[in-house]
Amino acid sequence: MKKIITKLNSFLVFLFISILSQTTFAQQVPLGQENLVQHLNEELSGELAKRNLEFISRLHRMRGSKDYKKATDFIQSKLQEYKLESIEIISIPADGKTMYGTQKSRMAWDVDFAELWEVEQQSGNWKHKIKVADWQSIPLVLAQDSESGEVTAQLVDIGTGTSEADYANKNIKGKLVLTASQPESVVSLAIEKYGAVGIISYAQNQVTAWYKENENLIRWGHLDGFAKTKTFAFMISLKQAREYQKRLKNDEVITLDAKVIANQHPGTYEILTAVIEGSDSKLKNEEIAFTCHLDHPRPGANDNASGCVAILEVARALKKLIDENKIERPKRTIRFIWSPEIEGTTALLNYRPELAENIKFNIHMDMVGGGPETKAIFHVSKSPQSISSFINDVAETFGDFVNKNSNDYASGINVKYPMVSVEGGKEPLHAVLGQFHMGSDFQVFSEGSFRIPSIYLHDWPDRYIHTNYDVPANIDPTKLKRSGFIGASSAYFLADFGNKNLPMLVDLMKLQVLKRTSLMLQNSLDLSLEEGKNMKHYFWVREMERFNSIIPFASRAIELRDDYSTFIKNLKTTVGQGQQLDLPHEKATTVYTRNSKIKGPMSVFGYDYFIDHFDSEKKTPQLFSYKGKRGSGSEYAYEALNFVNGKRTILEIRNLLSAEFGPIPLELVVEYLKDMSTINVIY
């Protein structure tokens, strides 16, 4: 097997060199964009982006809140200053009841006051002794969707607090509970069943190599925004929690005084948008949309003030270059959108369906400024395989361009476009190209209801995500400039793309196919012979789909399709054509159709359509917890629904999922899709 792979890789290298010698890709700048690259390098400012970030990071930008409105007003004022066009705030009512596709609108949440004190008795009265948490200083100390309350009560440690065993031999009625879990997960037992009056949580951050390393981090906490039982929860550091646990273990009585003034109320999803209008009367209704999410607790510098200011800087730079006649106004419109994460995007595309119709590509930025202290790895991620599009080749080639130039620059080599900011770092970017990740608004655009091809620019891991340490000091202006460049150059190329750019794009795509073929062969080594053949079969299908995605944007692509198809056939002959798996199951030939009246992903931020509509007495689908070789249960579930199109059988959907994320039992896909049909998402 190793000899075969070596021969195949040698052949791929030969093809790579042969194609390279026939194309213009020997030049440094991708896709013939020398003029664009030169002017973006000169105009994009990481420093200006960071100054805008410093203002936004002062605000506790929870959905529908006063500070969210201040952030929106600030960006709107900048858009006016930068002379953007068609600036608009779209206000979508959010009352906790109205549905927008798969999103139940969450009410706005505002806080006026929240403090937690340790107290002691003096002369028969409780006196404040040590301030533990103060919302005015660190808003993250109050869990999202906390309600007003005022209690003085003893503290009881309930560990995780998610099982009956955690409450054995403990009297928590009328007391505050200390838990390692997110507040919402202990409400049903601690508050509803056993009568606790409030929650103190030291839930830790997402698991990375730095998990629990910094005991001073305070994690963003959540309560269920739709819960019938209202309560409050404070978030404290692991260091503070361990101190309490030590004292409680020594039978010390700890009494805390908690006061919260906060409430949910009917509000709106405030979504800010502006455009650079296209110049072609026939094409200007086709849009390339930049998106980010504006909502987040303070400080939220990388997550996601960085994405907000990055697309703001792209808007400024492109508009200025157009106004100065340094670059032409593109044929298609470039739109910029600031919204609440996932829920706001789902609401928007359902509330304004013409936007979903007009947007042809999405460039999403969520966490794009993390400096070395964050330990971030930057990604230029692709659409899921349910949408094969040439947009990913475009973004990856600009990402590769920045990788190479920044690496050479850091190594002391003289390069023309190092893409650095005066006040920023000089490290190489080392962006990871072409993987698929879930986790932000782009997954709404790419979902099967809308099928808008997307790229997702983001940092992961980031050791300070969702904590009080996600501060502007950890943001690198150079990183902001580089991420802005990848987004801006990709968007401009797409907005102006047509027959004139076609030959160069097709040559690029051939090179990208060779890279993907090599990766596919490596991944197939971990599979059985049959599963490896299945992966190969769908790999070639997707590559032709990727080419066919060009045709609506460049009519002459039809003339080049036969040549491209021959290129793919030659690769098949060398690498192997592959074959679909044929697995026995009585439901294998069942075909489902998506319900066009229910648009959006099943699980969105703060609300889960599937759980809300599924029979609670039934067992949830096993697919949710399945772990594949390259995918999680949530990814399998997301893509399984995306692949439903009224034509594919369940067996074919299973085979597509296995090719993308690794083998999965057919019966899990059968069960999941059957459960989806019971709630009328598919039929």
d(CA 316, CA 196): 52
**Residue ranges in 449-597 assigned as alpha helix (H):** 477-496, 502-524, 529-548, 557-575
Least Cα distance to 338 among 664, 70, 659, 12 occurs for 70
**What does the block give as tokens for 93?**
């009512």
Pairing of strands 125-134, 103-104: unpaired
Is the pLDDT assigned to residue 27 strictly greater than 60?
A: no
Place of tokens 């040439």: 390
The count of residues in the chain is 683
For the cut 90, the answer to whether the pLDDT of residue 131 exceeds it is yes
Element at 85 (helix H, strand E): strand 85-94
Name the pLDDT band for 12 (thresholds 50, 70, 90): low
Q: Which residues of 632-667 are buried (b: 16+ CB within 10 A; e: fewer)?
A: ebbbbbbbbbbbbeeeeebbbbbbbbbbbbbbbebe
Local structure of 113: helix, strand or coil: strand
Give the per-residue pLDDT at 631.
92
56-93 confidence digits (pLDDT tens): 999 999 999 999 999 999 999 999 999 999 999 999 99
Angstrom distances, CA of residue 211 to CA of 179, 482, 671? 17, 28, 35
Decide if pLDDT at 5 tops 60.
Answer: no
Pairing outcome for strands 255-265 and 267-276: unpaired
pLDDT in tens, 106-118: 999 999 999 999 9
Is the full-model pTM beyond 0.85?
A: yes
What is the CB neighbour count within 10 angstroms for residue 432? 15
The residue-averaged pLDDT of 547-559 equals: 96
Give per-residue burial for 114-147: e unless 16+ CB within 10 Å, then b.
Answer: bbbbebeeeeeeeeeeeebbebeebbbbbbbbbb
Tens of pLDDT, residues 354-413: 999 999 999 999 999 999 999 999 999 999 999 999 999 999 999 999 999 999 999 999
Nearest Cα residue to 385 out of 441, 460, 435, 459: 435
Instruction: For residue 168, report the phi and psi dihedrals to the nearest 5 degrees.
Output: -60, 130
Position 480 pLDDT exceeds 80: yes
Q: In what order do the strands lie in the sheet with 198-201?
A: 125-134, 108-122, 255-265, 149-157, 176-179, 198-201, 233-235
pLDDT on residue 182: 97
Per-residue b/e over 254-274, b at no fewer than 16 CB within 10 Å? bbbbbebbbbbeebbbbbbbb
Q: Is the pLDDT of residue 3 over 80?
A: no
How far is it, in rounded angstroms, from Cα 576 to Cα 160? 51
Residue closest to 64 by CA, chosen among 40, 33, 96, 37: 96
pLDDT above 80 (res 18) = no
Comparing C-alpha atoms, which of 463, 470, 477 is closest to residue 376?
Answer: 463
Sign of the dihedral defined by the CA atoms of residues 57, 62, 68, 72, in that order = positive
Contact 662, 615 (CB under 8 A): no
- Helical spans, DSSP H, in 603-661: 609-613, 633-643, 650-661
Helix axes 46-56, 66-81, angle to 10 degrees: 150
The candidate with the shortest Cα–Cα distance to 518, out of 19, 30, 31, 15, is 15
For the chain, the structural domain boundaries read: 2-26+500-575, 33-105+267-497, 108-265, 603-678
Cis amide leading into 183 (omega within 30): no
For domain 33-105+267-497, give the fold: Aminopeptidase (3.40.630)
Question: Are the CB atoms for 587 and 672 separated by under 8 Å?
Answer: no
Instruction: Please determine, for residue 270, whether its predicted confidence score (pLDDT) is greater than 90.
Output: yes
The pLDDT of 126-138, averaged and rounded, is 95
Mean pLDDT for the stretch of residues 424-431: 96
Q: Does the pLDDT value for residue 491 go beyond 50?
A: yes
pLDDT of residue 23: 42
Long-range contacts, 554-560 (Cβ 8 Å, 24+): 554/497, 554/498, 554/499, 554/501, 554/502, 554/505, 555/499, 556/499, 556/502, 557/502, 557/506, 560/502, 560/503, 560/506
Question: Count of alpha carbons within 13 Å of 281, Cβ hemisphere only?
Answer: 0
Beta bridge partners of 256: 118, 153
Mean pLDDT to the nearest integer, 572-588: 92
Residue with tokens 């102006």: 496
Considering only CA atoms, give the Rg of the chain. Answer: 26
Confidence at residue 291, expressed as pLDDT on a 0 to 100 scale: 98
Mean pLDDT value of segment 111-137: 95
Residue 338: Cβ within 10 Å count:
27
3-state helix, strand and coil shares in percent for the chain, rounded to the nearest 5 = 45, 20, 40
Name the percent of the chain lying above pLDDT 90: 92
Instruction: Please tell me the distance from the alpha carbon of residue 532 to that of residue 525, in angstroms, as a whole number.
Output: 7
SS3 433: strand
Q: How confident is the model over 506-530, as pLDDT tens digits? A: 999 999 999 999 999 999 999 999 9
- Rounded-to-integer distance, Cα 116 and Cα 46, Å: 39
Q: Where are the beta strands (DSSP E) in 2-60?
A: none
The CATH classification of domain 108-265, taken from the options 3.40.50.720, 3.40.50.150, 3.50.30.30, 3.20.20.80? 3.50.30.30
Q: What is the pLDDT of residue 605?
A: 78
Q: Residue 348 pLDDT more than 90?
A: yes
Nearest of 429, 486, 431, 456 to residue 292 by alpha carbon: 456
What average pLDDT score do residues 413-427 get? 96
Query: Mean of the pLDDT values across residues 191-214?
Result: 95
One-letter amino acid for residue 582 of the chain: D
Q: What is the mean pLDDT of the chain?
A: 94
Coil, strand or helix at 444:
helix
pLDDT tens by residue, 603-617:
877 899 999 999 988
What kind and span of H or E run contains 246?
Answer: helix 238-249
Banded model confidence at residue 124, pLDDT cuts 50, 70, 90:
confident
Confidence of residue 15 (pLDDT cuts 50, 70, 90): low
CB 458 within 8 A of CB 440: yes
End-to-end CA gap in the chain: 44
